[in-house]
Amino acid sequence: MIEHTFAEIHNVRQKRTFKIVVMLSLILAVIFLISLNTGTMRLTPEQVWAVLTGEGSQKQQTVLFRLRLPRMIIAILVGAGLAVSGAVLQGISKNALADPGILGINSGANLVVLLIVITAPASIFANPFLLPAGALLGSCCTAAIIFAMSYKKGRGLHPSRMLLIGIAVAAALSAISAILTLKLNPMEYDMVYEFSLGSLYGGDWDFVLSLLPWILGVLPFVIYKSHILNILHLNESAGVSLGYSVEKERFYLLLAALALAASSSAIGGGIGFVGLMGPHMARKLVGPKHQFMLPAAALLGAILVIAGDTVARSILKNTELPAGVVISMLGAPYFLYLLLKSR
């Protein structure tokens, strides 16, 4: 009787999650269409359709296929990667305020990207696949420092301690990055400055191809391990009794979160708070179970970034803000709200 009741509850939640995922997908599609028509050169729906059917002008084809579409796809991939990364970090650390940016993991990735710009600027444009790999190295080193300093024998990870250490490490790495920028010429400085603010300007198909394997390769693995995230978030001893190697599973999931955050930061720059807002909004919509929450968080993260980039391209005349600035304007108050609300 009890098992039957649990099965019914699970089915109800599954149907509700499916409806919400469909709704979020439709919202993402609508914002995608709006974003297609937004920018310095506006394209009406009729003109977009003409370009897609091969009847548009050469200028319209250049704007749509070489400038706008790759940038929008990058925004979707970066948003999904950051949101799922934040959900995994919150699950394995039991810290509702965990986020790749707040914990300093993005700062480590950005520092390595900056070092690549200084030491081998030509290779960045010749080989965009170098950026995610370098950023992953930086984020792994940063995470290792943070988790080593936050871990106490017999007590595991201390959530509040990890948050404070992450903020301190992020500040230190940002200071090192600021010093290194003094070595840049004006052109390189402008590029790094825009990158640090989370600008998606200049993204092309090479960057889409360099980011796509990371997102499409790691996301299914994280969703497959969603039941492990449920155990880690609630009761680790239950996982041990069920035969799971908790520490090994935590390591694999942490590595997956770092891969998502690092690759997204390497291409999207310093876009913050998506890893914080996406999971929290998903939990309110579908509940805390990760098998339901992760797909919703990925869609919400994609919506946040592509909507932020669309607003950034249209809010000022003849210029555009970095998408990270627009998202931070929403994310900073949301973080303060969560901080005041948490016990």
Residue 273 domain flag: yes
In degrees to the nearest 10, what's the CA dihedral of 257, 174, 212, 205? Answer: 170
Residue 37 domain flag: no
We report the CATH number of the domain holding residue 86 as: 1.10.3470.10
Q: What is the pLDDT along the chain (343 residues), one digit of tens a residue?
A: 555 565 666 677 778 888 998 999 999 999 998 888 877 677 767 777 777 777 777 777 777 777 788 888 999 999 999 999 999 988 887 777 788 887 787 788 888 878 877 777 565 555 667 777 777 788 888 888 888 887 776 666 666 677 788 888 888 988 888 888 887 777 777 777 777 777 776 677 888 888 888 899 999 999 998 888 888 777 666 555 555 677 788 888 888 888 898 888 878 877 888 988 999 999 988 888 888 899 999 999 999 999 988 888 887 766 777 788 888 888 878 777 777 776 5
Note whether 271 and 82 are within 8 A (CB).
Answer: yes
Residue 34 domain flag: no
Residue 86 domain flag: yes
Note whether 93 and 159 are within 8 A (CB).
Answer: yes
Domain total of the chain = 1
In the block, tokens 């935590």 appear at 250
Residue 157 domain flag: yes
Q: Residue 187: which domain range?
A: 73-341
Residue 11 domain flag: no
Residue 26 domain flag: no
Residue 41 domain flag: no
Instruction: Tell me the angle at which helices 130-150 and 246-268 cross, rounded to the nearest 10 degrees.
Output: 130
Q: Which pTM was predicted?
A: 0.85
